[in-house]
Amino acid sequence: MASSITAVRGALVFFIDDPFLTDPHQAFVHEPDGLVICRDGLIMAAGPAARLASQLPDGVVPVHYPNCLISPGFIDTHIHYVQTEIIGAYGKQLLDWLNDTTFVAEQAFAEESHAKRIANLFCDELLRNGTTAAMVLCAVYPQSVDALFAEAERRNMRLIAGKVLMDRNAPPTLTDTARDGYDQSKALIAKWHGRGRNLYAITPRFAGSSTPEQLELAGALWNEHPGVFVQSHIAESRDEVAWIRKLYPDRTDYLDVYDHFGLVGRRAVYAHGIHLSEREFVRCHDSGTALAHCPTSNLFLGSGLFRIGAAKDRRRPVHVGIGTDIGAGTSFSALATLSEAYKVAQLNGRPLSALEGFFLATLGGARALALDDRLGSLQVGREADLVVLDPHATPLLQLRAERAQSIEDLLFVLMTLGDDRAVRATYVAGELAHLRKRPEPS
C-alpha cells in the first residue's frame, strides 16, 4: 500500500519538556520557518523548511500558511459532550446546576438519534477550535458512548470517552446500578477501546453520585483492564467537598475516597481539584494521577480558583492539563480557556506564562493522559495532529500581533485575544480536518 504523505509549512511551536519544571526555553521549540511532513498519520519530520524540503517526496507540495503558527493540536482533558446544548445556563452553583440543568439535558441522550446529532456537532466544534484530542464524559446510556465514538472514528480523532457511572443522587432515569454500570462499561471497552484511535475511560461521575459498591466495581474493572483510563471529578466546590466528607466519613479526604477503591494512578484524570490539600497533591504526584484545570467552568459556576503554582510545585509536581468542561465551561476554545487560566492565576498572585499555557494545552495535556509518547508534540513518530494558528484573524489580533516583541509575546496575544477564529486549520492524523474558509469580514 502506498503511504499517504502531507506537509505543512509555517512557524513551528511545540514543547519537548515541561516549562514548569525545566528552563522554559529548553523545553520549547520555535522554528520561524518550519516544515512538518506527515506520513500515514504520524510525524515523519519537523524542522526548518530549508533543511527538510529535500526530504519531500516528488509531487508533495507543502501547504503554506504564511504568518501562521503550527502547533500540536490542542488537548482537552475534560469535557462533557452531552452538555453541549446547555452551555451558558444561568445562575447556579455546582450542586444545583447538576440537579436543575445538567441532569435534565442528559436524559435526552437515551435517544440514539439525539446522541448522534449532538456528537456530530460536538466533534465539528472541537475541530473548529483546533482540538484534536479530548477526554470526554458521555451520559449514563451506552448508546451515548456509541454515538460519540462512531463520530470520532469517522474523523479519525483521538478521543478518550466513557459512559457515566451514576447509581445514586440523580433522577432514576439517569442512574444505572453498580452491576449494570460495570457490565455496560466492560462491553464498551471490548467494543471501542483501541478501535480506530478511540480509547475508553471508566467514568464514575463523582463520589457523590456513585455508591461505594459502584466505585469498588469501577476499581475492579480498571484492575482487569489496566490499559484503559479513569475520569471523574474532585474538589470542585466547597459544598461538594463538605458533602463528600459526610458521605465517606472513614476516608482521610476526597482523593482518599477514590484511592480506597483503586481509582488513582497513571491514566486517571480528575477534573478541577480546586480545594485539594497538600496531602492530596502529594498523593497525585506519587501515583501519577492527573488533574484537569477548567478555568472557564470554575469561574462560571463560582467554584473557586485552581492553584496552578501549588499543583505544579517542583518538589512534587502533579500532571495538569486544561479542560473546557463544556457545558459549565463557556468556550470550546483552548485559547479562551488559557485566557481564563491566566486570570485565575493572576487572582492567585502567580501569572501563567504563555509557554506554560501552551504547554498545558498540548504536551502537558498529553502527559496528563499518559499519551505523551503519541500526542502533544511535533517530534518524529508522534501522531500528526496539528493546529494552524492565525495571529491576524481579527482586527484587534492583527493590531496587537504586529507589535509582538517575541514568540512568547505572540503566543500570549493568541491566548488572551484568540478564539475559534484564530484557528486557520486543523489536521487530524496528517489530514486536513477543518479549514477556516475566509478571514473575518469587516
Q: Interface with a second copy by CB under 8 A: which residues?
A: 84-85, 87-88, 90-91, 93, 121, 124-125, 128, 299-302, 304-305, 330-332, 339, 342-343, 345-349, 351, 353-354, 394-396, 399-400, 403, 408-409, 412-413, 416-417, 419-421, 434-438, 440-442
Q: How far is the CB of 295 from a second copy (least distance, A)?
A: 10
Q: How far is the CB of 40 from a second copy (least distance, A)?
A: 27
Judged by CB, which is closer to a second copy: 61, or 90?
90
Cα 279 from Cα 374, distance rounded (Å) = 31
Judged by CB, which is closer to a second copy: 128, or 392?
128
Judged by CB, which is closer to a second copy: 60, or 396?
396
Q: How far is the CB of 358 from a second copy (least distance, A)?
A: 13
Judged by CB, which is closer to a second copy: 132, or 214?
132
Rg over alpha carbons for the chain, rounded to the nearest Å, is 21
Q: How far is the CB of 205 from a second copy (least distance, A)?
A: 22
Q: How far is the CB of 417 from a second copy (least distance, A)?
A: 5
Q: How far is the CB of 395 from a second copy (least distance, A)?
A: 6
Q: How far is the CB of 262 from a second copy (least distance, A)?
A: 35
Residue recorded with cell 509518547? 373
Judged by CB, which is closer to a second copy: 102, or 214?
102
Cα 104 from Cα 384, distance rounded (Å) = 38
Judged by CB, which is closer to a second copy: 255, or 417?
417
Q: How far is the CB of 349 from a second copy (least distance, A)?
A: 6
Judged by CB, which is closer to a second copy: 39, or 421?
421
**Strand 158-162 relative to strand 63-72, pairing:** unpaired
Judged by CB, which is closer to a second copy: 187, or 242?
242
**Strand 268-272 relative to strand 229-234, pairing:** parallel
Please give the full DSSP string across 371-433, using - where no structure is assigned.
Answer: -TTTSSS-STTSB--EEEE-TTSSHHHHHHHTT--SHHHHHHHHHHH--GGGEEEEEETTEEE
Residue 317 CB burial class (10 angstroms; 0-12, 13-18, ≥19) = middle
Q: For residue 261, what are the contacts with CB-CB under 8 A and spacing of at least 6?
A: 212, 215, 216, 218, 219
Cα 324 from Cα 217, distance rounded (Å) = 29
DSSP state of 54: G
Cα 107 from Cα 303, distance rounded (Å) = 25
Residue 23 CB burial class (10 angstroms; 0-12, 13-18, ≥19) = exposed
Integer CA distances (angstroms), 17 to 64, 370, 378, 382, 411, in order: 27, 14, 12, 14, 17
